[in-house]
Structure 1
Amino acid sequence: MKQVILHSSVEDKLKRGRWILEKDDFPQLDLDNQAVAFYSRKGNFLGTGYLSPQNKGIGWFVTEETVQFDQVFFQRIFQQAKAKRTAYALDNRTTAYRLFNQEGDGFGGVTIDCYGDYAVFSWYNAYVYQLKEVMTAAFKQVYPEVLGAYEKIRFKGLEQESAHLYGQKQEEPFLVLENGVSYQVFLNDGLMTGIFLDQHEVRGSLVDGLAAGKSLLNLFSYTAAFSVAAAMGGAVATTSVDLAKRSRELSEAHFLANGFRMDQHRLVVMDVFDYFKYAKRHGLSYDVIVLDPPSFARNKKRIFSVAKDYHKLIAEALEILEPDGILIASTNAANLSRRRFKEELEKGFGKTKHQYLSEYGLPADFAYNKKDESSNYLKVFTIKVDK
């Protein structure tokens, strides 16, 4: 195993719990896609990790121990991760959740999700992809109940984005449960699966009646999972808006899977900012508005960045929100701190009176590094607006 001597500033980052390795900290490094042992300039052993470029950095510090990334190592951390999620495994109202979440479970660069009897591995760099045989062998030992698995390739360099990994193949699409709600998912069709699992607590608040008796507008709706959850919780009408044409078909499948007719649930294929104009022009307003945009988006008309433009969403939403309405403001931008996100929200509210009802981060199955704020990337606020 190659040895890497760390600058004192990088050593300090590791001691503070920042385990993602950044390119700027290794200007002369010419190693990649391999395990390494880290040492201080004084020659003290600091721990074991690996180097491999991905969108978040150039590698990961993994453990302060001397280890080999072999089947024994992965069986141990998979077993530890499984023990944390016993409550999810026993919950017959939820059959889709995260089994292993990168550095939060002891190894950055890979996630594993449960969808019913199947698992989905996501590889975020070439080094973890090289380890997939040893990882899947370890996973089979810890999860013999899983019938089969698929993989998502989330780094550049390979032609395919998705593939069958091992075991049985699932006839697609099929249904999973979350908070007692059925969602149609697909495991081998690009990088998406039909639902973002990290939002299940927020959707749970809607199932529990946050929008009961109310109308709900779901913007950047993808497959309208928030809308379906609201309908299950008693919302009288929902409108789901997304620019992707495929979103209509996928969203309708969720509603039909739960026995809803579509006459009170509109699916609109449109740019969100164009929809704000449409709604104001037609005198439309809503009791609850969900804002869950991508961190960055570009279309023919505009570029949207959560860090710079979220306040515009808030300001526009206020114009079509009913008196005493509720906003659910969400972002998964890891580079935007909770404090900065809240500042962006406040910029949008201006002088409009409002109160924060609840706040969400990642749910318990999405274990994260508690010493590194960016590891807990999800930030959601439920806000009551007094107007």
Structure 2
Amino acid sequence: MNREINLKIKSKHVNKYKNGYPLIFKEAIINIDDLHKEGTIVKLVDEKNQFIARGYYGKQNKGYGWVLSRKEKTKIDRKFFEKKIISALNKRAAFYNNPQTTVFRVFNGEGDGVGGVTIDYFDGYYLINWYSEGIYTFRDYIINSLKKLIEFKAIYQKKRFNTEGKYIDEDGFVLGERGKFPIIVKENGVKFAVYLNEGAMVGVFLDQRNVRKAIRDKYSKGKTVLNTFSYTGAFSIFAALGGAKKTTSVDLANRSLPKTIEQFSINGIDYEAHDIVVEDVFNYFKYAVKKNIKFDMVILDPPSFAKSKKYKFSAAKDYKNLLKEAIAITEDKGIIVASTNCSSFGMNKFKGFIDTAFKEMEGKYKLMEEFSLPKDFGTIETFKEGNYLKVVFIKKIK
């Protein structure tokens, strides 16, 4: 049983928590020195010791833990987690019945009532991501609930917090029958090779499903496509299957070459008809300008933070300049797919970056359509930061 302590909240933040804000953040806490062991149940109280909410202490980059209930009598036990998982599974029932898409998110952290943990489905395999040592202390409740509620080939996990040598898994395997990797999953009929047993990333970012579909179905036919920060080339695969004349995938990581070749190959596409470039994206932009290479479509999906030998990139500070680089090598009437997963700003500010970039380049543009997280990535209204994905399709007029 995880012990409980009272966590005193500064008066100016009390209403925020009463209104449903889920993240326990440092600036709100009066007695922060009382927090010692992650996984401790915390009872949030006001300065008169009146109950506000109950949650847990778990440090991650976003804060010091998460609110789990605003009902005073709620017990944080196995039944609590089981109810949350049942609710999440019910919301995704339709996803299980789609043979064209066999990969999706089953549980989306605070969007499903428990911040700090996500669960993804990969054609019978489940992957749990733990984002703090605090939430990891509840692992038995969550894993046993899954074991009771679902049929699975196997359950894997990734500990996405600094373990300092503790809790190290060889390959993340938890239960079931070990997978033979890669496992092949489908998204809107397109195949992905997925590795649940390697590092933090599995081979595809599930939150871009609707964006990839739009690229394939509406934008890529007959086009030359540049996919920057391409990772395993997922956008390139969808563009190629949508009839793109040629795709060019650029990523600094050496692994991007074999991984992208693999994704092309399992979809029956001749990867040699496309360019896969292991290069710093910023250097590639300069190369394209120098050689006067332009594209009908440029896809920008950088990490929120990136670092190479020569460059540091922060989406909040540098996205506007990245857009200017893309504008310079996009054909007139071409499309720029501008995407960011940075949670520190919203869609309006992102559109401001777009507007400023075009003004500074003395260009004109038209916003075609925009995307945020798909339905399986459920979010809550009281935590805007949770709806982090912002994607805008921009037509460059001149």
**CA contact under 8 A between 2:68 and 2:113: conserved in structure 1?**
yes
RMSD over aligned CA atoms reads 1.4
Q: Offset of 1:42 from its aligned partner?
A: 3.5
Q: Structure 2 counterpart of 1:23, which letter?
A: K
Q: Given the alignment of the two structures, is residue 119 of structure 1 paired with residue 126 of structure 2, yes or no? A: yes
Q: TM-score, normalised by structure 1?
A: 0.96
Residue in 1 aligned with 2:375? 364
Write the letter of the residue equivalent to 1:295. S
Q: Distance in 2 between matches of 1:166 and 1:248?
A: 32
Q: Distance in 1 between matches of 2:294 and 2:113?
A: 46
Return the offset for 1:235.
Answer: 1.2
Determine if contact 1:7/1:40 at 8 Å carries over to the other structure.
Answer: yes
Decide which of 341, 350, 356 is 1:341's aligned counterpart.
350
- Residue 54 (str. 1) matches residue 60 (str. 2): yes
Provide the C-alpha distance between the structure 1 equivalents of 2:149 and 2:219, rounded to a whole number of angstroms: 38
Q: Which residue of 1 aligns with 2:155?
A: 149
2:365 — aligned with what? 354
Q: Check if 1:314 corresponds to 2:323.
A: yes
Q: Alpha-carbon deviations, 1:204-243, whole Å to 9, x = none?
A: 1122132111111000000010010111111121000000
Deviations 1:53-99 (A, max 9, x none): 11110011111123222221111111100111122111111011100
Deviation at 1:27, TM superposition (A): 5.0
2:223 to 214, 219, 228: 214
**Other-structure match for 2:391:** 380
Please tell me whether the aligned partners of residues 103 and 186 of structure 2 are also in contact (alpha carbons under 8 angstroms).
yes
What corresponds to 1:12 in structure 2? 15
Residue 3, structure 1, aligned to residue 6, structure 2: yes
Aligned residues: 386
Is 2:84 the partner of 1:77?
Answer: yes
Corresponding residue of 1:175: 184
**Cα drift, residue 171 of structure 1:** 0.6
- Counterparts of 1:81-160 in structure 2, within 5 Å, are 81-143=88-150, 145-159=151-165, 160=168
> Counterpart of 2:334 in structure 1: which amino acid?
G
Unpaired segments ≥5 residues, structure 2: none
Q: Please state how far the C-alpha of 1:278 moved relative to its aligned partner.
A: 1.3
| Contact 2:334–2:396, Cα closer than 8 Å, also in 1 | yes
Correspondent of 1:297 among 306, 309, 320: 306
Counterparts of 2:19 and 2:366, CA distance in 1: 34
Q: Decide which moves more: 187-196 or 229-238.
A: 229-238
Return the alpha-carbon distance in structure 2 between the equivalents of residues 224 and 316 of structure 1. 20
Q: Deviations over 1:18-46 (max 9, x none)?
A: 21111122253121421122222334322
Whether the 8 Å CA contact 1:179–1:207 is kept in 2: the answer is no
C-alpha offsets along residues 270-306 of structure 1, whole Å, 9 cap, x if unaligned?
1111101111222211111100001111111011111
SS of the equivalent of 2:74 reads coil
Q: Distance in 2 between matches of 1:187 and 1:39?
A: 40
> What is the deviation of 1:157?
2.4
Instruction: Give the secondary structure class of the aligned counterpart of 1:234.
Output: coil
In 2, are the aligned partners of 1:184 and 1:253 still within 8 Å (CA)? yes
Deviation track 1:87-128 (CA, whole Å, cap 9, x = no partner) reads 211111101110000000010010000011101100011121
Tell me the CA shift for residue 316 of structure 1.
1.1
More displaced, 151-160 or 76-85? 151-160
Distance 1:353 1:230 in 2: 25
The separation in 2 between residues aligned to 1:231 and 1:16, in whole angstroms, is 47
SS at match of 1:283: coil
Contact 1:353 1:385 in 2 (8 A): yes
Q: For 1:110 and 1:318, how far apart are their aligned partners in 2? A: 38
SS in 1 for 2:162: coil
Match of 1:28 among 31, 43, 56: 31
Q: Distance in 1 between matches of 2:56 and 2:271?
A: 50
Asked if 2 retains the 8 angstrom alpha-carbon contact of 1:112 and 1:122, the reply is yes
Amino acid at match of 1:299: S
Tell me the amino acid that sits aligned with residue 304 of structure 1. Answer: F
The AA in structure 1 aligned to 2:7 is V
| Greater shift in the superposed pair: 375-384 or 26-35 | 26-35
**SS of equivalent residue, structure 2 residue 172:** strand
Tell whether the 8 Å contact from 1:310 to 1:348 is kept in structure 2 after alignment.
Answer: no
Query: 1:241 is matched with which residue?
Result: 250
Q: Which runs of 5+ in 1 are unaligned?
A: none
Q: Percent of counterpart pairs with the same letter?
A: 40
In the TM superposition, what is the alpha-carbon distance from 1:158 to its structure 2 partner? 4.0
Higher alpha-carbon deviation: 151-160 or 316-325: 151-160
Superposition map of 1:223-234 within 5 A: 223-234=232-243
8 Å contact 1:181–1:229 — kept in the other structure?
yes
Matched residue, 2:263? 254
Pair 1:354–1:15, CA change in 2 (3 A): farther
- Distance in 2, Cα, partners of 1:133 & 1:16: 30
Counterparts of 1:178-197 in structure 2, within 5 Å, are 178-197=187-206
Deviation of the 1:255 alpha carbon: 0.5
Distance 1:28 1:37 in 2: 12
The offset of 1:330, in angstroms, is: 0.4
